[in-house]
Amino acid sequence: MHWLCESHRLGEAQSLGFNVAGLHLLAVRRDGRVYAYRNRCPHRGISLEWQPDQFLDDSASLIRCARHGALFLVESGECVAGPCAGEQLQALACHEDHQGVWLLPITRPEAPADAD
């Protein structure tokens, strides 16, 4: 597991950005639960925020791509408006305990074996 932050740093309806082993990600707290996603818009493959830790829309209810205006559901990462509607942010598994918020190990799909 990779340490992200103490729980109090990620308040309700707030977001934070992180860089863990070269992976740029964001975490959002909604209804007491933490959700983590790769910080990469599916439309152009660019970072979502225009200022550090600013990943939410004005209502703090959706994740927003600051460059294209795409809006994503916090709970699933699904794009519900914008140029990548129907696509999703890449969800990352996280865990919260008494110490804080942790990113769980990222599993990468194995390369297919060559058929001879």
Which pair of structure tokens corresponds to residue 111?
């390369």
pLDDT at 116: 42
Class of domain 2-103: mainly beta
Sheet strands side by side (includes 79-81):
62-64, 71-73, 79-81
> Which pTM was predicted?
0.89
Give the range among 32-41, 62-71, 76-85, 107-116 with minimum mean pLDDT: 107-116
Average pLDDT for the chain: 91
Q: What is the pLDDT of residues 30-41, one digit of tens each?
A: 999 999 999 999
Average pLDDT over residues 72-96: 96
Distance CA 58, CA 37 (A): 19
Q: What is the pLDDT of residues 22-75, one digit of tens each?
A: 999 999 999 999 999 999 999 889 999 989 999 999 999 999 999 989 999 999
- 108 pLDDT tier (thresholds 50, 70, 90): low
